[in-house]
Structure 1
Amino acid sequence: MSDIFNQVDNSIYSNAMTFLRVPLVMDPIAAEADIAVLGLPFDIATSGRSGARMGPTAIRQASINLAWEGKHFPWKFNLLKKSKVIDAGDLVYSTGDAAEFTQKVEKAATQLLASGKTLVSLGGDHFVTLPLLRAHHQKFGEMALIHFDAHTDTYDNGSAYDHGTMFYHAPNEGLIDPQKSVQIGIRTVFNEANHGFNVIDAPQANDMSVEQISTLIKEKVQGMPVYVTFDIDCLDPAFAPGTGTPVCGGLSTDKILKILRTLTDINIVGMDVVEVAPAYDNSEITALAAATIALELMHLWTVQNKQV
């Protein structure tokens, strides 16, 4: 190959096709890897503004801003030298077929997990978490959920494919234990009388210290396999305008990153970042926040599973 084409690309504006420029692997089941990034371009279940189907591409493009560091601040190790990360591309499904999408997500995730990989999934609207939880449950059993969001998503009045009903269905299916789960950043109405989940609402979270929030999370999920799901609208719209259902009064990017960095001693088995809708973004700040959060989650997993 000519030397002019055989070069390492360290720019932030060219060839931004995969997360952190890691290899795109079209047969991720057979590939050797610790972490697989899976894009889920789906927003049929959206109740507000559509557009989250474009989220995976936007997050990947924004991640190139993070690829040049080597050691990502403030972590003291190079993630890609400790964990082998691949990009599995986007799940392909028949346009408009929510049932087929749901089945394919569960099947793809089940196969990736069975091959020994840990999944970091990029949405897509938040409905994608339900089939992901079904796949993870097959391997890990009942899990605790750490759920960052403006909404509880525990509503029982939606259709079978609704991004506000996943955490109504998941406990009923035995996928997660709500009493061992924590929802952070909630600032919309829910039925507190029979909710079941532990909630740190946004006003509380904004007034509490990072250490207080971290301690409560760890106390609740202790001893359980943990799935972390991050709806980008947990962040205040000042930090994440590019989402379908923005709600004022959320958390700052700084506080979220500080909370995540304290969770190094829990058993994280699966992760997703969802609800980035780039059509409503400004200067890619929402996509960059999502890419940074996904990268932080990878660092957490690496600390727990590798010698660093």
Structure 2
Amino acid sequence: MYQPKDSTKSPRFCGVRTFMRLEQIKTTDKIDFVVLGVPFDTAASNRTGQRYGPQHIRNFSVLLRPYNPDMDINIFDYCSGVDYGDVDVVPGNIHRTYDNMVSELSPILDKEITPIIMGGDHSISLGNLRAFYKKYGPVALVHFDSHGDTWDNYYGEKYMHGTPFRRAVEEGLLDVEHSIQVGIRGPLYSPDDIEDARKLGFEVITMKEVREIGFTEVMRRIRRRVGDRPVFVSYDVDFVDPAYAPGTGTPEVGGPTSFEALEYVRGLDGLDVVGFDLVEVLPTYDSGEITAVLASSLIYEMITLIALKKKRLQSMEKTVSSFSD
């Protein structure tokens, strides 16, 4: 079993920075999840620097501890994981970066290990989904974001951080009838910026509607939409209000608090989540490192979902075994 170094025996400021002080090793043996970075940001349309997001998140994640009191589980009683390092991106060449991502993720997915991927800008989600398609076919998508990222192009370029989910639909990577976007808000060029996502097949819940219907109804709609399909979760940190996550490239006011942001991940428990990405963390603008605190905590909650899933499976296996006896 791979688990974090015990910070009661080894100070957090010792050693090479890895996520949650997990062992940094490229292995697919005896693990349930990997955390890996994709430090690519040359598809960003405004601020850049998201390439430093993975190391920024890792740096703060050393404060995390194995017991999650809100979900009442010690993560590493039920699952094993490692920090898998970073994909070797090619700055300025998104297509070769996508190829590298698929090559890196494929052996992980072949072993049915759950990847948790740290961006990088949101363009990396297309590379992730190409890898998941090879394993699962079209997957459902739960997308938390202030932007739909279904634009057709930026400056005539088809592969940017605002276009990955249109490209994913065009490539047949998504089970779009079971996919949903949550939190969309902010000034737009026209109503088409939201309606285009609906025309592509997504259910869209704007942030205004989130506030009107409340958390419980949002989660009910997510569950109804996804059903029992394998689901990929893509979480743009700008989903969160910039008062709680200033370190990002295109912040939009009027979003959730940090507590609410965590609750949306916790609320996914019970879905067949096969992978996650968390993107658009930009250290340069991260006053007091509060975005890093939140991003590392969101990934922690994602890992917790894996542990809860394993706990249920182990409980089911014990039940079956007792009947067999």
Matches of 2:130 and 2:217, distance apart in 1: 31
* 1:214 and 2:219 are equivalent in the alignment: yes
Map 1:79-228 onto structure 2 (within 5 A): 79-158=75-154, 159-188=157-186, 189=188, 190-192=193-195, 194-228=199-233
> How far apart, in 2, do the equivalents of 1:207 and 1:284 lie?
31
Q: Which residue of 1 is the match for residue 283 of structure 2?
A: 278
The alpha-carbon deviation at position 147 of structure 1 amounts to 0.3
Q: Tell whether the 8 Å contact from 1:58 to 1:278 is kept in structure 2 after alignment.
A: yes
Corresponding residue for 2:18?
18
Alignment match, 2:318: none
- CA distance in 2 between counterparts of 1:117 and 1:291 reads 20
- Flag the 1:238–1:12 CA change in 2: closer, same or farther, 3 A: farther
1:90 maps to amino acid: D
Letter matched to residue 94 of structure 2: A
Contact 1:66 / 1:72 at 8 angstroms: preserved in 2?
A: no
| Residue 47 of structure 1: aligned partner | 45
Aligned 8 A contact 2:79 2:310 in 1: no
Which amino acid is 2:27 matched to?
P
How far is 1:108 from its partner? 0.7
CA distance in 2, matches of 1:137, 1:71: 33
Structure 1 CA distance for aligned equivalents of residues 69 and 214 of structure 2: 21
Distance 1:101 1:87 in 2: 20
Aligned-residue offset at 1:36: 0.6
Query: Over residues 205-256 of structure 1, what are the superposed CA-to-partner deviations in whole Å (9 max), with x where a residue is unaligned?
Result: 1333221111010000002110001000000000100001111111111112
- Find the counterpart in structure 1 of residue 35 from structure 2: 37
The question of 1:66 aligning with 2:64 is answered yes
Q: Which runs of 5+ in 1 are unaligned?
A: 1-5
Distance of 2:78 and 2:223 partners within structure 1:
25
- 1:180, CA displacement in angstroms? 1.2
Deviation at residue 10 of structure 1 after TM alignment: 4.8
SS of 1:38's equivalent in the other structure is strand
State the partner residue of 1:258. 263
**Aligned sequence identity (%):** 36
4+ aligned runs moved over 4 Å, structure 1: 6-10
Q: For 1:237, what is the secondary structure of its paired residue?
A: coil
SS in 1 for 2:125: helix
Q: Residues 90 and 96 of structure 2 are in contact (CA less than 8 Å); yes or no, is this contact kept in structure 1?
A: yes
1: CA distance, partners of 2:258 / 2:179: 22
SS in structure 1 at match of 2:62: helix
- 1:234 and 2:242 equivalent? no
Report whether the alignment pairs 1:244 with 2:240.
no
The DSSP-based 3-state class of the residue aligned with 2:123 is helix
Change (3 A) 1:131 1:9: farther
SS of the counterpart of 1:293? helix
Q: Distance in 1 between matches of 2:294 and 2:137?
A: 31
> 1:7 and 1:20 mapped to 2: Cα distance?
10
CA RMSD of aligned residues (A): 1.9
Q: What is residue 71 of structure 2 aligned with on the other side?
A: 75
Count residues with an aligned counterpart.
299
Match of 2:237, as an amino acid? Answer: I
Where 1:233 maps in the other structure, the secondary structure is helix
Matched with 1:3 is none
Amino acid at match of 1:21: R
TM-score for both structures, normalised by structure 1: 0.92
Offset at residue 92 of structure 1 (A):
1.7
Distance 1:282 1:210 in 2: 28
CA contact (8 A) 1:147 1:183 kept: yes
Post-superposition offset of 1:196: 2.4
Amino acid at match of 1:54: Y
How far apart are the structure 1 equivalents of 2:144 and 2:82? 25
